[in-house]
Amino acid sequence: MIRLARLGFVAGAFFITMPRQGSAQVVVPPASEVPIPPKPKTDTTSKTDTLSKTDTVAAKVKADTIKAAFGRGVGPRTSDIGPQYSWNRAELFATGALTVADLLERVPWATSFRSGWLASPKFVAVNGEFGRVKIFYDGIELDNVDPRSGSLLDLNTVQLWTLESVSIERFANEIRVNLRSWRVDRTDPYTRTDILTGDENTNAYRGFYGKRFDNGAGLQLAGQQYSTRSVRLGGGGDALSFMIRTGIARKNWSFDAFEMRTNASRVLQPTFGNGLSLPPFQGNYDLGYLRAGFGNVDGGPWLQLIASTMQLSERSAHHDAASAASLHILPDTVDTLTHRNQFLITGGYFRGPLKFSASDRIRAFEGNTYHTTGARFEIGNAIGLVSLFGEKNFQTKTTVGDAVVQLTPLPFFSVSASFGKSVPDSSPIGASPAYLAGRFEAGVRLFRPWLIAGFVTRDTAVLKPLAVFDTAYTVRSVGRRNGYYAALRGPLYKDINVDVQGTMWDSAGFYQPRYQARSEINLVTSWLSRFPSGNLGLKVALVHDYRSSVVFPASTGDRSTSASGVVSALVEIRILRGVATYQVRNMFGDQYQIVPDFYMPRAISLYGLRWEFWN
């Protein structure tokens, strides 16, 4: 059924060539948005005098109306002190982030790893542990379907440009990233064009079209093409992606079909040490689903049913032993075709401060079927939040429980605590033992920004290796790790904002720097005293990223990277509905490595225009 829907999507594309939930506290909105005014309303008022011919035609034009949204899932509340790690569509593009890994770099005790620029694989460790980041796309948990990455999901395969909102939940033992795909809700056609170009022969083009009809039906088409070439360091590549959605939504029910496909390629990225080179890659990633939703997401019971499929069809060039040895890569003699089906049944009740939901996630692949059942209970208001979550995974044979408590008894004081435990049904060789983690956080509001301090700890863990970069990286068992972090986040003075966070672990560990910090200061303004219409928006940001040396465990001897500090900047100017953007990463051209034996690019500038239209 899913494959038939996919064929229909491809044929259709050929021939046609929810507000974010508030947190349980009163917080300052994120300071990452170039202020954008709402879409102008259509004037449908009639005159009492005799209408001219032109006025008569104008009066017959249908007014733009808002239709019910696709999907019926209700997102969880977040428990962060101060500004939340959540972004709507306008805020998301204004951050300058190009991948999900870019967003996660803003979260304390999350450490990103990549070997190069846009086309390189990207992973994020939580307190030094990979596999503790879970990505949910419209409720579907994204599993890794690329054997080269082992069990780890390459975040470069997650298409950030297709999203409507991103919300990050920080549990004690993992980070959950909730992604909601772009949806349209207006009957006026919406179009948008993004054009970007820059260093390393980087070019990107995006196009969006969406429209809802009077009967609630809708059609969305979008595509992106990017390419980049690095003559000095290798690892360039390109990708052509498209998404299509069609369906119908009414007040208490909706049905939609969605397809997203990416045809990606990457050229050889040579090693500058004793490790392996990153081999070339060519393949298609597919994500498609059929979704039915029932109930009112604004309050009351709701139910959502999703049938989805994820697939990788790899067509990389073959390399026998001789050619592989000359390129310093592993021999590769067969193409790869992997796919997973996932079925999600989830429902719940939402009324005022109370949220309850339960789900059964069914995975079917390689002739086997596995269930993951879970439930979540939340109760919260402006003073506090209590969230309880439990999940039983019959594939990994583990039971996970998380509890989050957040209190804001005073407008200028807030505390938060999170506890998580993972218990395996058995202890097979190589499996993680019973796992206990905790996070404690307190914040004080200093006039406008929040000053936050916290402590995070986790039990003994078995670390998964970054085998995609080198098969010599090995599994290691490590003891308890503790980390201390501090942050200053929020408006600093008038339209000047600050987002500074740093983490110190008790000692340097595998995949974990001893010290890590990200500092951003930005100006976000509409300059209303000069432009009261709100037709101008400006954002200027300066960012500094620092990490101390990192050790990678390998069977041939541990490898390490040196400490690095990189300065980047972002400027965005909005005039009406057009946004001119310019960003430069590593502006001083420092030479550094994030993954051993692979050098990151020198200064890279990327600039262009985002322009949207309501017809």
Look at residue 568 in the predicted model and tell me its pLDDT: 98
Look at residue 461 in the predicted model and tell me its pLDDT: 87
Q: What type of residue sits at position 268?
A: L
- Angle formed at CA 172 by CA 171 and CA 174, multiple of 5 degrees: 60
Read off φ and ψ for residue 42, nearest 5 degrees.
-75, 130
Pick from 560, 510, 136: nearest CA to 342 = 136
- pLDDT tens-place string over residues 41-64: 444 433 334 445 445 544 456 788
- pLDDT tens-place string over residues 295-348: 987 789 999 999 999 999 998 887 777 777 778 887 765 567 899 999 999 999
Task: With cut-offs at 50, 70 and 90, classify the pLDDT of residue 246.
Answer: very high
Q: What mean pLDDT is predicted for residues 588-614?
A: 95
Look at residue 37 in the predicted model and tell me its pLDDT: 52
Look at residue 324 in the predicted model and tell me its pLDDT: 79
- pLDDT tens-place string over residues 433-473: 678 999 999 999 999 999 999 999 998 888 999 999 999 99
Q: CB-based contacts of 23: which residues, under 8 Å, 6+ apart?
A: 77, 78, 79, 80, 84, 380, 385
Q: What mean pLDDT is predicted for residues 349-366?
A: 93
Look at residue 28 in the predicted model and tell me its pLDDT: 39
Domain annotation for the chain: domains and CATH numbers: 2-17+23-37+66-614 (2.40.170.20)
**How many whole angstroms separate alpha carbon 138 and alpha carbon 258?**
10
Q: Across all residues in the chain, what is the average pLDDT?
A: 88
Look at residue 33 in the predicted model and tell me its pLDDT: 55
Pick from 339, 256, 242: nearest CA to 73 = 256
Residue 5 predicted with pLDDT over 70: no
Sheet holding 140-141, edge to edge: 86-88, 163-170, 175-181, 133-137, 140-141
Q: CB-based contacts of 155: which residues, under 8 Å, 6+ apart?
A: 99, 100, 101, 104, 122, 123, 124, 133, 135
Residue 396 predicted with pLDDT over 80: yes
Look at residue 317 in the predicted model and tell me its pLDDT: 80
Q: What mean pLDDT is predicted for residues 199-207?
A: 96
Look at residue 41 in the predicted model and tell me its pLDDT: 46
Q: CB-based contacts of 555: which residues, under 8 Å, 6+ apart?
A: 472, 473, 474
**Cα 360–chain centre separation:** 23
Let me know: does 259 contact 247? Beta carbons within 8 Å: no
Specify burial of residue 220 (Cβ count, 10 A radius: 0-12, 13-18, 19+). buried
Task: With cut-offs at 50, 70 and 90, classify the pLDDT of residue 414.
Answer: very high
Residue 1 predicted with pLDDT over 80: no
Q: What mean pLDDT is predicted for residues 415-422?
A: 94
Look at residue 384 in the predicted model and tell me its pLDDT: 92
Pick from 596, 601, 603: nearest CA to 278 = 596
Residue 6 predicted with pLDDT over 50: no
**How many whole angstroms separate alpha carbon 603 and alpha carbon 480?**
38
Handedness of CA 41, 44, 49, 54 (dihedral sign): positive
Q: Give the whole-number percent of the chain exceeding pLDDT 90.
A: 71
Quick one: CA torsion of 162, 342, 139, 157, rounded to 10 degrees?
Answer: -30
User: What is the token pair recorded at 424?
Assistant: 């395996």
Residue 536 predicted with pLDDT over 50: yes
DSSP result, 522-569: EEEE--TTT-TT--EEEEEEEEEEEE--EEE-BTT--EEE--EEEEEE
**Which of 372-381, 420-429, 500-509 has the lowest average pLDDT?**
420-429
- pLDDT tens-place string over residues 161-170: 999 999 999 9
Let me know: does 62 contact 120? Beta carbons within 8 Å: no
Residue 364 predicted with pLDDT over 90: yes
| pTM score | 0.89
- How far does the chain reach from its first CA to its final CA, in angstroms? 35
Residue 10 predicted with pLDDT over 60: no
- 140 against 327, higher pLDDT: 140
Residue 607 predicted with pLDDT over 60: yes
Residue 14 predicted with pLDDT over 70: no
Q: What type of residue sits at position 104?
A: L
Look at residue 592 in the predicted model and tell me its pLDDT: 96
Residue 511 predicted with pLDDT over 60: yes
Look at residue 430 in the predicted model and tell me its pLDDT: 45
Q: What type of residue sits at position 592?
A: Y
Look at residue 427 in the predicted model and tell me its pLDDT: 55
User: What is the token pair recorded at 162?
Assistant: 């297709």
